[in-house]
Amino acid sequence: MAEKTAVARIVKMFIYLLLIILAAMSIFPFFIMLVNATRSTPQIQQQAVSLIPSSFLLNNMRLLSDRGAFDALLGFRNSIIIAGGTTVLSLYFSSLTAYALTAYKWRLRQGFFTFIMAVMMIPGLVGAIGYARLVWQFELTNNFLPLILPAVAAPTIVFFMRQYLIATLSIDIVNSGRVDGANEFRIFNQIVLPMMKPAVATQAIFIFVASWNTLFLPRLLLINTDMFTMPLMVGLLNADIYRTEFGAIYLALSLSILPLFVLYFALSRYIIAGVQLGGVKE
């Protein structure tokens, strides 16, 4: 028994050590980015990787403010509108579709789900050029709606939500709501959707990050610089043919990822709750 306990402790220590190493490897690139945001361009060119912050943070901030095309607040606003709208639409309608595929029995349910699975196999960029041409034909460029509305159809999110509901949703709860006189939308909004908080929080992070970092479609559809998202504005800093200020670029990148960290820390407790829920077996 003592030998088994000692082996278990060694295995546990090894797992913890491995997790610490993996966590350090994940954090290291962000740490280097933050350090480079405090360094000057010559320092970065001479030594790309440094663990010691420098004293050029204020100078890099001044360089960013001197770039008339770069407006961090405007970029934050535009990105939050697009990423927030995309996240809300995708989560709500995907959850609603997944609920219809789980709680109701109808003749074409399996065929509809098979169609959704088939759509998942198609790369998103396949129809991007055609969609951009359609938007141009309808003269909807410099508009956030063409970047937000397609989020209503998100087959990957539908699949994830359906799998979550299959494992957690009890049809008795739905039936009890019907007995009490609640309509179907009220049952979904007030009973089912709150039960899906861990799944919604997990997918919210992925959707928001993916939408926030999207560069291809916004570059095609947004012409006016006042409509540019944060990634597009960071790209403007690389467009200077005379000199590239690497310290200012790292500072802009550091600013651009701040909302992603805020979102993660705000929703992390729901993700942990979902993991704990998944680990409980009746």
| pLDDT by 10s per residue, the chain, length 282 | 666 677 778 888 999 999 999 989 988 988 988 899 898 888 888 887 888 888 888 888 888 877 766 788 888 899 999 999 999 999 999 999 999 888 888 888 888 888 888 888 887 777 788 888 888 888 888 889 999 998 888 888 999 898 888 888 888 888 888 888 888 888 888 888 888 888 888 888 889 988 998 888 888 888 888 888 988 888 777 656 456 778 888 888 888 888 888 888 887 777 666 555 544 444
Give, in order, the Cα–Cα distances in Å from 194 to each of 83, 152, 168, 186, 201.
22, 20, 12, 12, 11
Count CA within 13 A, CB hemisphere, residue 181: 0
271 within 8 A of 202, measured Cβ to Cβ: yes
Helix (H, G, I), strand (E, B) or coil at 182: coil
Residue 280: per-residue pLDDT:
42
Q: Model-level pTM greater than 0.85?
A: no
Q: Please state, in angstroms and rounded to a whole number, the distance separating the CA atoms of residues 261 and 241.
A: 32
Residue 278: per-residue pLDDT:
45
Q: Which H or E element spans position 212?
A: helix 197-213
Residue 2: per-residue pLDDT:
65
Residue 48: per-residue pLDDT:
76
C-alpha torsion 16→17→19→24, nearest 10: 140
Residue found under tokens 């997944």: 98
Residue 282: per-residue pLDDT:
42
